[in-house]
Amino acid sequence: MAVLVGKKAPSFKTDAVTNGNKIVQNFSLYQYIGKKYVLFYFYPADFTFVCPTEILAFQERIKEFEDRNVAVVGCSVDSAFSHWKWLQTELREGGIKGVKYPLVADLSKTISENYDVLAGHYDYTEDGQSVFHGVPQSYRGLFLIDKEGTVRHQLVNDMPLGRSVDEALRIIDALQFFEENGEVCPANWKKGDKALKPTQEGISSYLSD
């Protein structure tokens, strides 16, 4: 598994569905550079079971991300047309209608490969034919990208394991607190907690309290 933390987020241009109903071409995360943080996450597939619980959970808390100047963007190996159809389907019928943030189409699987979350790999047969080994879907990868386009946090879960929106918000708070104050965040830190000055004196003071 590649560690992308500290590196520029892999770039791409592809189809996506925005605002829950509009298919756009050449969608790129780099439209946010210099303007917003990005929470970019992968999920295995449309019309599944755990995936809609995560997608809807992020939408339910979207204002909390917006208040932190964070754009939420989802991605799977499905086509933009599949995303669009799922977004038009009512919740009671297994859909995700009401989700407004972008869902990226990674039909070629190259985005998942570049972020190293694809559950499988391509190979070639003896006669030169391309074949895929494994499950042609993405693990539940999540990447926090700062306003300079650098990955500052990544998390990858296996497909049966849903993620925590609370933890995603906590990590964003920690990064922004560090950027604003220059203090580092200890174990289980959450907004409002005491942080650490990155000096021996600061650590000693924290531990003695």
Residues β-bridged to residue 17: 23, 103
Residues 6+ apart with CB under 8 A from 74: 41, 42, 43, 55, 58, 101, 102, 103, 104
**Within 13 Å, how many C-alpha atoms sit on residue 50's CB side?**
13
For residue 140, list its beta bridge partners: 157
Catalytic residues: 51
Distance CA 37, CA 48 (A): 28
Query: Using CA atoms, how far apart are residues 120 and 30, in angstroms rounded to an integer?
Result: 27
DSSP state of 148: T
Q: CA geometry: angle at 7 spanning 123 and 66, to 5°?
A: 105
- Positive or negative, the Cα torsion across 18, 23, 29, 31? negative
Token look-up 């070639």 returns: 124
